[in-house]
Structure 1
Amino acid sequence: MPPNTLRQQFQLRDTQKAAYEILQARIDLGGASGTICIVGDFLSGKTALVKQFLADRFEHPEDYYLNVNRYLLEQLKKEADLSNLILTKAKTRLIMQVTLEEAIRKHFANYDLLVLDAIEIIYPYNLNLITITNKYARNGKICIICVPENRERGFVCDFSWGLGELISLVGGPIGKGAIEGNYH
């Protein structure tokens, strides 16, 4: 990622400001760890919210941010011809899972916070990001996942919601392990 991409200031809307405050309070709790999912429709402001959050906290916010779509596509290109991977969904899923786990593990060896954004590439492969992140987001380490969801368009995650804390850009906090509306 080019330097200073995350240093810009974003004008957050009211729903983003409320989610930002909830996220900030959660992160600032001493001893906090685990996975936090920021859930909202496409273009609801999840990326702007986390980029502003990182820019406000860190001198080098890009060190804490991973665009999952871009990262996995780069890694898949290294593994094999993409046309062959399309034919072997199980192999692609395994490569994605191992690649993400390795990136998360390496990141948490040096840092206590990671944001995973732009995760759409994993949807057809049914990767459960929360179970992956929770292997490493322990002992004061926190992973924030930006989760796009739109039930009307059939774009729905099937994560282990009970293992993470959810913040909705529509209605504020949902809570740890909560089952509400779309999250079950």
Structure 2
Amino acid sequence: MAKKEKEVLENEAELIDADHAEKRVYELGFHIDGELPAEDAAQVYKHVREQIAKAGEVVAEGEPQKVQLAYVVSRMETAGRRDFSASFFAWIAYETDGEGHQAVQEAVRAEKSVFRFLDIRTDKDAARHAAEMHEIMLKAAEKAGADEGQDEEVSDSEIDAALKEVGV
């Protein structure tokens, strides 16, 4: 029985070593402290991107966008507990080997302004599709914001006209 377990462990070790050298595509999504100024959040993003570029090749990316979190995220720090209700969310898809992937994870963990991240394995097509969808969503949000501004102007003029009719 012990001999079989040893063989299984050796086979798993060989598979891990083989995977370690093979290049794969990963997508890193991360939250940067929302209390930072936008310029500082951009610097944190730039630093993470540089670390990824050292370890491999950037496939697609989404620059930091300020978002309200669905729930408060708490983290223990040396000064005590810290709560986050907003963040700058960014993501980067990259291709690297196992050693580079490990280096990226260590670099993100070392970045104090990043309070939460998720690093998953994906493929180039999915990463490029995510980048395209990100662009479409940004354009839709910009258009919706522009449309809202027009609605307010129209409604203000309608109110003014209605007040004149009433004689106010």
Q: TM-score, normalised by structure 1?
A: 0.22
Higher helix share: 2
Higher strand share: 2
Q: TM-score, normalised by structure 2?
A: 0.23
Computing the radius of gyration from Cα coordinates, the structure with the larger value is: 2
